[in-house]
Structure 1
Amino acid sequence: MTGYKPSPRPSFDAPTVLRADEVVRHTWGDPDAGLVEDWIYVSSQLIHTIVFGMPPGGKFTHSESFRTIFAADELLYVLQGTLVLANPATGEIVRAEPGESVFFRRDTWHHGFSYGDEPLRVLEFFAPPPATGTSGAYALQQPYLEVSTYADDAVLGALVPPRKSPGGSFTLLRHADAVQRLDTGILVSLLASTEHLTVGTLTVPVGGESVVESHGGEELLYTVRGSLHVTAGEVEATLAPGDGFLVPAGTPHSYSARGDAVAEAIFGVAPSYAPG
């Protein structure tokens, strides 16, 4: 078990622009579990947000040193490629394409596979974060999963659409599944909101601007479309796709679209999305 080393934990005390080409790089895994490239945007005492990537055909499973069972809520948003996510303890498998998400709660074993023709890129929100002991250190204390299962034979002879799986661990989320809000003057689409983590998208129309808001938790914003201008406290920045922005808990902030295109971003707030 000596192969495991904690990943870097960049954190910030003030509103901070996180440019795509400047974020911390890290390689996770080993030859048995597989190797995954991480781009770490933030890993504070409140939230952990990364983009992870694999080549076409790449995968991660688990090994003695790198176990994929954590004490956190996670939401995986597919930016590029095709993600096939498996729970090797139950045989449950979901497939997510760009723009779709998979949400699961703590103590869920998970393996990931890249099934697209292009590299896989996934935006991951994770809370409570590793800094609180929820990731590798926690995983090494859990019973080791000796046998991985990749199929649910219970559906054989009983798969009548639409399939319902109330006991499942993964929730596949599409745009139509989001809960919509307009209370800040822009469209906010909530994908998941628990006591630990809220994740959603925000869309700013051409020329649009939000009202000033704040949250009880720390927010990491990741731009996926257009030119998004962020004002947080005394800091202002215009973000391009791939850029991030860290908003400390309780910091007043607002968004606007610059240029002649819609601006869109994905955000994660931990632990509390409620006004701060």
Structure 2
Amino acid sequence: MIRAADAVRHTWGDEAAGFVEDWIYVSSQQIHVIVFGLEPGGAFRHSDSFRTVFAADELLHVLQGTLVLANPETGEVVRAEPGESIFFRRDTWHHGFSYGDEPLRVLELFAPPPATGTSGAYARTRPYLDESVYAVKSVVGNLAGARPGAGSLRVVRREDSVWRLDRDVLVGLLISTEHLTGGTVTVPAGQTSLEESHDGEELVYVTRGELRVEAAGVEATLTPGDAFFVPSATPHRYGATDAGVAEAVFGVAPSFGRA
């Protein structure tokens, strides 16, 4: 029996990569199983000493909080809630972000295990990733959701979102055509996005928490049911108060491109 209180505590990372709390349940010659944790708004990336690319298959099962996982080499971004899992094969760069109101806890299954040389020692043999990307750029303007044999109407669910870490906040694109881009934006408590602008006009409608908006000298704190209009080419940024995560639905028309 391995009780939760008996799991071995370990801190992974450095200032550049971020720090992650680990609770090690088993690390044998055949399997490695831990729970790792981040505080709300926390993240891990990579540094020269702590490279997140291993010679192992991994299954990450979310126990608590919201996990956003990115492949900084390809720009792929996915999101998982409690009870959901993310799987990837060996040689996959990965960065993790905590996007919930409560601490993130993830059960990690890892094999072949570090005892066979698949973890840090292997990572240091891989070419260093100098630049991280968090979006697949080809999606913008080309996400109509058409499927072979589908009719003219389609339900777009949260899990259908194409995720991207855009200007330091999480954006989930639901559709993006030559006329309209629509999706969701999620901001962790106490954080603020980098400034951005679009070729098209934008309307953001708040669905959760308290969203702070700054645009062309206008500042507002919005709650669910409130909205904010941003004219074309107007620099703006989004933030969340310390009260918790803020979420909103947005629409940009006609072009989502950067002004």
TM-score greater than 0.5 by the shorter chain? yes
Given the two structures, how large is their TM-score scaled by the length of structure 1?
Answer: 0.53
Cα deviation digits, residues 201-229 of structure 1 (max 9, x gap): xxxxxxxxxxxxxxxxxxxxxxxxxxxxx
2-structure distance, mates of 1:27, 1:163: 45
Alignment of 1:71 onto 2:71: no
Report the equivalent of 1:99.
83
CA distance in 2, matches of 1:75, 1:102: 6
| Whole-Å separation in 1 of the counterparts to 2:130 and 2:147 | 29
Which of 114, 120, 131 matches 1:136? 120
5+ unaligned residues in a row in structure 2: which ranges? 149-158, 160-259
Structure 1 residue runs of 4+, over 4 Å off?
none
Deviations 1:148-179 (A, max 9, x none): 00111110111122689xxxxxxxxx9xxxxx
Residue-by-residue CA offset, 1:251-271 (whole Å, 9 max, x unaligned): xxxxxxxxxxxxxxxxxxxxx
Distance 1:42 1:55, change over 3 A: same
Q: Does 1:157 align with 2:141?
A: yes
Deviation of the 1:56 alpha carbon? 0.1
Give the greater-gyration-radius structure (CA): 2
1:25 aligns with 2:15: no
CA distance in 1, matches of 2:55, 2:90: 5
Instruction: Look up the match of 2:38.
Output: 54
Q: Which amino acid aligns with 2:84?
A: E
Per the normalisation by structure 2, the TM-score is 0.56
Q: Which residue of 1 aligns with 2:28?
A: 44
CA 1:162 to 1:93, structure 2 compared with 1: closer, same or farther past 3 Å? farther
Q: 2:72 aligns with which of 84, 88, 97?
A: 88
Match of 2:92 among 108, 111, 131: 108
> Could you list the runs of 5+ residues in structure 1 that have no partner in the other structure?
1-16, 165-173, 175-276
Select which of 11, 18, 29 maps to 1:34. 18
Q: Which has the higher contact order (CA 8 A, sep 6+)?
A: 1
Distance 1:55 1:156, change over 3 A: same
How many pairs were matched up? 149
Measured in 2, the distance between the counterparts of 1:100 and 1:162 equals 25
SS of residue paired to 1:40? strand
